Amino acid sequence: MPLYVNRRSDPSYPTPLEPVIYTFFAILLFTEGTGRGRHLEELELQAGDIHLLPPGIPHHAIDAKNLRGWLVAFDPTLLRLLGQEQWPGQPRITGEPRPEPLRSLFIRGLFRLRPEPPRLRRIQHFISELDTELRQSRWGAEGAARSFFTLLITELIREMQEHAPLVPPLLGGLVRDALTFVETHCLEPISLQEVAAAVGRTPAYVANAVRRETGLTVGDWLREHRMSEARRQLLETAASVERIASQVGYADVTHFIRTFRRAHGMTPRVWREQHRRAPI
């Protein structure tokens, strides 16, 4: 199975000095300690937090020497093999009339959950049992591992459906609305003017607000979404680069390839070849 579990319990476990980019989907569950990390901005890390990191997103553990917990890494296609919905799904946000820009938070590695103790214990139990099955390789281990993985994903999706993610405090209402519009229409040929019209402000006002609160421009966010979908299609489909370019909002395939190369350091074709054969 394209699935891996690692428990971090050694205080001497090395912390990478530079940001890293996973080629796989990662679930990080912190069970002890506190620390600091950086995705889009610096975040406090603490026991009880679950971070969901999609592939291709830079992240950096600035200070994690006191943190203990679990890493579950898997090929994103495994979700579809299990019949699960594509993450992050559509959580029901209690007490929040405004829709959250969930996918924007998700593709930037900002999607966090903090389950109540009973669910947190179940999640940790499923990860521990999954680890046991993968390490001991007993008869029926693959089927048992698949079952525990399904239970784990089910609990996480339930948590997403029942509770809002921990949205970083930097996102004000206008920026949330703008990012939600961008992620809803990201595969269409939208402009800053259309985003501004959707939130009832001038283009200059929206551009400044988004840049000030997120560190990225509206165009940056649009590119993030398009590149995320491009990576998914490169990994999970046999579609040509030309077809993928048109499906993620680029009429000019040369522009798409140039944009992809700037973001990933290689062309879409080379990225597909490397990541399809890269083991977890």
Which tens digits make up the pLDDT trace of 16-55? Answer: 667 777 778 889 999 999 888 876 567 788 899 998 887 7
pLDDT at position 93: 37
**If you ran DSSP here, which 8-state letter would residue 99 be given?**
P
Instruction: Kindly report whether the global pTM for this prediction surpasses the value 0.85.
Output: no
Q: Are 145 and 80 in contact (CB under 8 A)?
A: no
Residue 246: pLDDT band by 50, 70, 90 thresholds? very high
pLDDT exceeds cutoff 50 at 237: yes
Query: pLDDT for 73-132, tens place per residue?
Result: 988 777 766 665 455 544 333 444 445 566 666 666 557 788 999 999 999 999 999 999
Q: Exposed, middle or buried by CB within 10 Å (0-12, 13-18, 19+), for 147?
A: middle
- Which pLDDT does position 208 carry in this prediction? 93
pLDDT at 280 exceeding the cut of 60: no
pLDDT of res. 118: 95
Within the chain, strands assigned E span 3-8, 20-21, 25-32, 34-38, 42-46, 50-53, 58-63, 68-74, 111-113
Higher pLDDT, 83 or 148: 148
Percent of the chain with pLDDT strictly greater than 70: 78
What is the pLDDT, as a whole number, of residue 193? Answer: 95
Rounded Cα–Cα distance for residues 214 and 272 (Å): 29
**pLDDT value at position 5?**
94
Q: How do residues 154-191 score in pLDDT, each as one tens digit?
A: 898 888 777 766 655 545 678 888 988 998 898 888 89
Mean pLDDT computed over every residue of the chain: 81
